[in-house]
Structure 1
């Protein structure tokens, strides 16, 4: 190991010579205490092996609780579709004439519903269809201030601020749970929280307003 490079990277810190995870304080007992509180509040009946339910809660804090509350209630879940009820969708294949801003276009559509070509009535050269891009538009702010939108879809795990609270740049505003990971939404600047549009447990989509910051 290049000692000079190591010293520059560590900036005075000691190098880790053991398994990095060994330096993390145990958290299982804290999680279990939190889980026991949730179980008592919601009167959840646990499985024979408590550890199974505890791990479900650890991996999916929001969705997992809903599952544990309703696992013996089949009406809570979507029914399994019966194979004899599955119908083949109608074919959308064909050629259509579409008018747009005074110009007529001939559009060819495949059986799957995709536009395969398009040309103006006065043009003989087909124009390949270009899939339209979905535009993500953030919701309007709930009150005065800058809207802070969700960077990805998921569930609101924790709301770390309250209305009229002053925050500094880098403060955690909301913790979003998505894909088994917790994502911290931090303030890009200092300001005052003028409105909160979500609560813990809510599902949000990309761009949806979480709160407003003045």
Structure 2
């Protein structure tokens, strides 16, 4: 613990960070969250460095339906798959059958040699890059680990291929849709 505290104090001094009176709290923050702990300590007195607080919306009274929705047969799409369901007066839902698949939109072909981009599915920090440039990966292999809201998310290969053009490194902050790497 003494080593860790000395290391945090050294890093804080190098970056001009003022530690709390009870430094053990700051040491614990850095120990638990090594990549973002120091960033937090650096900006804890700067509200502009954090997301703004959500504003309370005026509560709107919810209008109650005068009569329940009519029962019937409906087509419901779940994760890109269409299902035909029957809704009864009691609100029970039962699946009748899978709907006839709709034709998927045709995506434009990527330029030759460009490969398939792997995009960030959510905003966060790159925790660890597992894949290396030129590595052959199978569908489902872990390419990197993304940390968001204290949760680690494995980013897996959607297809087999060769890793090309890694655009991020450990510690990088990414937004939704940012390119992480390309699979050729």
Rg larger in 1 or in 2?
A: 1
Bigger fraction of residues in helix: 1
